[in-house]
Structure 1
Amino acid sequence: METLHNYIDGSATAPAGGDYLETSNPYTQEAWGRIPRSQAVDADLAVAAARRAFISGPWARFTAPQRGAMLRKIADVIAENAEELAKIEVRDNGKTFKEMLGQVKRIPDWYQFYAGLADKINGSVLPTDRPDHMNYLRHEPLGVIAMVTPWNSPLMLLAWKLAPALAAGNTAVVKPSEYTSASALRFAELVGKAGLPAGVLNVVTGLGSEVGAALTNHPDVAKVAFTGGVAGGKAVYASAAAQMKPVSLELGGKSPNIVFDDANLENAARGVVGGIFGSGGQSCVAGSRALVHRSILDAFVARLVELTSKIRLGDPMASETDIGPVANKTQFDRIMTCIGWAREDGASLACGGEQVPDPRGGPGLFVAPTIFTGVDNSMRIAQEEVFGPVLSVIPFNDEADAVNIANDSAFGLGAGLWTRDVSRVHRMAGLLQAGSIWVNTYKVTSQISPFGGYKMSGLGREGGMEMIADYMQTKSVWLNLTDDVPYNFPL
């Protein structure tokens, strides 16, 4: 059993209370290591280190170009260690190695992008209505940022937060998921060796209700950046509101993939299958509702089932595997519960719907890729986020019907649209309540473009040039240009 430690102020640090949590490989279901079960005292140590680094450490004296150079070093470190980091993530969350390696290889793009923006943060001089005064604006970092990341794409979703935060001059304390903490700890160690000053990046592991809550409640944390479930997001939002601190929340989704009868149906079928079964459905933007025009419903479903039958489950490190195990037993049980809801509510099972035996023998955390037809959008399977390989097929009659069904959800993260009608694309793009609209493609993201959701899918955006402003605050400076200061009392 490997024992890992928190990373605080540039050093591996054992938890103050001496308690640890086991971390397991979802494929073998065997515990391979222990991570700190941190408490409030560990959060205090990490925040104090980050605060010192922000106020008086070498990082506080870094110029904007120096911050950019440091981000480029971080990008290089990730690229040089991509295979190691990807293998750590596979061991923790069960996704396929080919997916995680591809994902980790894209992470340097985020640090490179924000490295280029670090020295483009410009103040401005404002024209005023007072000729005897000058007014200019400064854009300054917020301070210590608490970053809470989930288990499905740990390092990628950390990059979405950390890259702009560092570019702006902040410091960070990261609380990764208790299921997938190893990659963040290794990443922090690597960038520390690459020259990131001590205290700029700190990682504390453990349970959200313990160390996570202590971080988000901490008075010296200036902002909380959170990716996770709705319940966790609400708790973070309530905590931050009590202290009037800003938050960014990237939460769940129940994204519709809308297929019209004029679409290239083969491309649409592939897009729908990839949109839900990619990552084993464990993705916030999984296209878990397929809205299909009634005139093509039967033929389209038949093609979905045919494609789904070819998906290979197995060892996530094997090149031939398409989907690995569900990331943890808690999530596996949640998926099976949701499948049970669909059956109870009268949906028809087209394929899947069952636990798949471990390819090595015995019960494993594998769920067969599942498609339900006969789904009404009011059913629980169509309203609740499953976060697993379960697709609900819902027919629609026309554009208005499709928009009504798509928007009839508490979520609004993404939406797919498959059609050849350009006018329809622009009409529906304006009507669909989602932060990302993908037309004849699905689940495309980039550091260049903002990402986030409507409604219960969260607050704020991640990515894009303007998002660096979310990690800064604006200061207005007024200067009297005359020697005479008028006495303005009484007014």
Structure 2
Amino acid sequence: MTKYLKLFINGEWIHSANPETQDVINPANQGVIAKAPKATKAETEKTIHIAKSTFESGVWSERTPGERAEVLLQIANGIEAHLNELTELEVMNNGKTIREAEADVTDALNTFRYYASLLQNQTDETFEAEKDLQTMIVKEPMGVAGLIVPWNFPILMSVWKIAPALAAGNSIILKPAEITPMTAVKLYEIIEQTDLPKGVAQLLLGTGSVVGQTIAESEGVDVVSFTGSTQVGQRIMQAAAGNLKKVSLELGGKSPNIIFNDADIDLAVDYALFGIFMGAGQVCTSGSRLLVQEDIYASFIEKYLEKAKTIQVGPGNNVNSEMGAIVSEKHMNSILDYIQVGKEEGARLILGGNRMEEVDLKKGFFIEPTVFTDVTSDMRIVREEIFGPVVVIQTFKEEEDAIHLANDTDYGLAGAVFSQDQAKAIRVIKKVRAGITWVNNYHLSSVQSPWGGYKTSGIGRSLGKYGLDEYQETKQINISMNAEQLDWFEGKK
């Protein structure tokens, strides 16, 4: 029996007034998992009004940090109790491997626990500004937070926004990606069982052009947090200008991974593969540009290809699979188009480049790990975000060349340096214009660390105390300890 998903508005699961639905597909076999509604503009506006009224009522926004922390811990415990189910849903709906999905769900519950702890340890600032004038700096919730998340990390990106937004005392409206709503629905079923007041957390399933646009434009929304492409982020920023709402954007990347000739080659190869082929390259921080020093290029390529050829591509629910499916047929075709562009531009394809059509894969959306060499910085496959299992490899001579190539991009999300010379590694990574960087590793990070980029990779930060700041207003309160009449206007006699 086909499962029909619902909207979660004011604490109730309801069918959308729009009879049109969208098939939710398993990218590993094209099976239909469920039918998702397409919420209307009117439903979105009504939801915003409910969220605003709930915020202004104070049922959540005026609770103490300790009380809010308790609810966050309830949500974390609920995720932990349903870890296996959430993992299975993520694998089925997104196509990623079991190992990746389980790590995402675990990170999600730890994010709620982190913000519960941060809430209980956050203190206001107080100081004596002048004689008998005491100043307090306090943090307050912003109001209604519109949270728009992508399809590549459905549950994790949702939680990266939900946890700090709720921790700060806001009312929230989550809009997951149209094609990957399954774990968001399950997460809201978990939230429904907690002590979070009705009307604080809403879930709208629908298109970006209707639901996302309405959230971004609405004067009833006080902050919009979006993760996705740079192009959509620009449109959201324009739409949000109406009431000058705060906008937090985590956008695209074309991240450099610099391998110096003094690097531990085996270590560099290991992380370079992980940097691009984890998540089938559908990761904003993927190390999609490898910059290898000329002296070690031949030996590096030999070892890199040797290991890349052994990557086990297959359905995410197969425990032996190391790289899963591409999320949709549309996105698979976009990646294949880029591979064709690379060939036409004159790049040398040395591995992969094809859709995988073996018997057990032909019904799904699978692409071989793909490697291009002999590329130049003006090629589209070097400059544009492909967002798939495709890496381009360039060479450099000296340290200055590596820094120039690394920064020769419109993006500035991530980057890495591999070198056993720690002074050089730190010197170079400090010159890489990116917000998330690594030395002798790739993709490793923590919930305590700020996540976001430079240039067209976005504005604002997720995670850590910086992520909480994205959903808070900062207010100064000046208190006269010995109030006296000012007599500023005494009058002239």
- Under TM normalisation by the shorter chain, which class is it? over 0.9
Secondary structure of 1:198's match? coil
Pairing of 1:15-414 with structure 2 (within 5 A):
15-56=16-57, 58-129=59-130, 131=131, 133-360=133-360, 362=362, 364-414=364-414
Deviations 1:191-244 (A, max 9, x none): 111222211211101110111101111111110000000111001111122321
What's the TM-score once normalised by structure 2's chain length? Answer: 0.96
| Structure 2: gaps of 5 or more residues | none
Distance apart, 1:417 and its partner CA: 0.8
Deviation at 1:447, TM superposition (A): 0.6
| Cα-to-partner distance string for 1:164-207 (whole Å, 9 max, x where unaligned) | 11111111100000010121111011111122221121110111
- Preserved contact between residue 411 and residue 456 of structure 1 (Cα < 8 Å): yes
Distance in 2 of aligned mates of 1:213 and 1:128: 44
Percent same amino acid at aligned positions? Answer: 33
Q: Is the deviation greater in 475-484 or in 417-426?
A: 475-484
Report how far residue 489 of structure 1 moved. Answer: 7.6
**C-alpha separation in 2, matches of 1:323 and 1:277:** 7
Kept in 2: contact 1:7–1:189 (CA 8 A): no
The answer to whether the 8 Å contact 1:358/1:366 transfers is: no
Mark the CA change 1:489 to 1:89 in structure 2 (over 3 Å): closer, same or farther. farther
CA distance in 2, matches of 1:359, 1:196: 48
In 2: Cα distance, 1:100 partner to 1:364 partner: 18
Alignment length, in residue pairs? Answer: 490
Give 1:235's aligned amino acid. Answer: R
C-alpha distance in 2 between matches for 1:124 and 1:256: 40
The alpha-carbon deviation at position 45 of structure 1 amounts to 2.4
Measure, in 1, the Cα distance between the counterparts of 2:211 and 2:351: 41
Query: In the alignment, is residue 419 of structure 1 matched against residue 416 of structure 2?
Result: no
Deviation at 1:310, TM superposition (A): 0.4
Cα 1:361–1:72 shift into 2, 3 Å: closer
SS in 1 for 2:366: strand
Could you report, residue by residue, the CA deviation over 1:113-159 in whole angstroms, capped at 9, with x for unpaired residues? 11012133333333324x35443232110011000000010111111
Residue 94 of structure 1 and its aligned partner are, at CA, apart by 0.7
Helix, strand or coil at the partner of 1:55:
helix
- SS of the residue corresponding to residue 365 of structure 2 reads strand
Cα shift at 1:485: 4.3
Q: Which moved more, 1:58-67 or 1:200-209?
A: 58-67
Deviations 1:78-137 (A, max 9, x none): 1111111111111211111221012211211111111012133333333324x3544323
- Residue identity in the other structure for 2:462: E
Distance in 1, Cα, partners of 2:117 & 2:362: 51
User: Does the aligned pair in 2 maintain the 1:264–1:418 contact within 8 Å?
Assistant: yes
The 1:94–1:292 alpha-carbon spacing in structure 2 relative to 1, beyond 3 Å, is same
Residues 148 and 225, structure 1, Cα contact 8 Å, conserved in 2:
yes
1:6 counterpart = 2:20? no
SS in 1 for 2:449: coil
Question: Partners in 1 of 2:48 and 2:282 — Cα distance?
Answer: 31
Contact 1:16 1:41 in 2 (8 A): no
Name the stretch that deviates more: 188-197 or 253-262: 188-197
How far apart in 2 are the matches of 1:490 and 1:281?
73
Match of 1:478 in 2: 478
> Would the aligned equivalents of 2:28 and 2:363 in 1 still touch at CA under 8 Å?
no
CA contact (8 A) 1:414 1:437 kept: yes
Q: Deviations over 1:371-400 (max 9, x none)?
A: 001011221111100000001010011100
Measured after TM superposition, the shift of residue 16 of structure 1 is 2.4
Q: What is the aligned partner in structure 2 of residue 451 from structure 1?
A: 451
Match of 1:180, SS? coil
Segments of structure 1 that go 5 or more residues without pairing to the other structure are none
| Offset, 1:58 | 2.9
Is contact 1:121-1:139 (8 Å) kept? no
Shift of 1:345: 0.8
Please say if residues 290 and 394 of structure 2, whose CA atoms lie closer than 8 Å, have aligned partners that are also in contact. yes
Structure 2: distance between partners of 1:386 and 1:122:
43
2:102 aligned partner, one-letter code: L
Give the C-alpha shift of residue 11 in structure 1: 1.2
Summarize the Cα distance change of 1:361–1:369 in structure 2 as closer, same or farther, 3 Å threshold: closer
Compared CA separation, residues 355 and 486, structure 1 to 2 (3 A) = same
Distance 1:296 1:124 in 2: 53
Q: TM-score, normalised by structure 1?
A: 0.96
Report the AA paired with residue 424 of structure 1. Answer: K
Give, in whole Å, the separation in 2 of the partners of 1:378 and 1:489: 71
Partner AA of 1:70 in structure 2? V
Shift of 1:441: 0.5
Cα contact 2:383–2:409 (8 A) shared by 1 = yes
| Structure 2 residue identity aligned to 1:488 | F
Q: Is the 8 A contact 2:285 2:413 kept in 1?
A: yes
User: Counterpart of 1:128 in structure 2: which amino acid?
Assistant: A
Structure 1 segments (4+ residues) deviating >6 Å:
none
**Cα contact 1:141–1:168 (8 A) shared by 2:** yes
Greater alpha carbon shift after TM alignment, 117-126 vs 260-269: 117-126
Residue 264 of structure 1 aligns with an amino acid whose one-letter code is D
Please give the alpha-carbon distance, in whole angstroms, between the structure 1 residues aligned to 2:455 and 2:220: 29
C-alpha distance in structure 2 between counterparts of 1:188 and 1:358, whole Å:
38
Q: Distance in 1 between matches of 2:424 and 2:488?
A: 64
The alpha-carbon deviation at position 435 of structure 1 amounts to 0.7
Contact 1:73/1:194 (<8 A) preserved: yes
Aligned partners of 1:207, 1:303: CA distance in 2, in Å?
44
CA distance in 2, matches of 1:332, 1:48: 38
Per-residue deviation at 1:347? 0.5
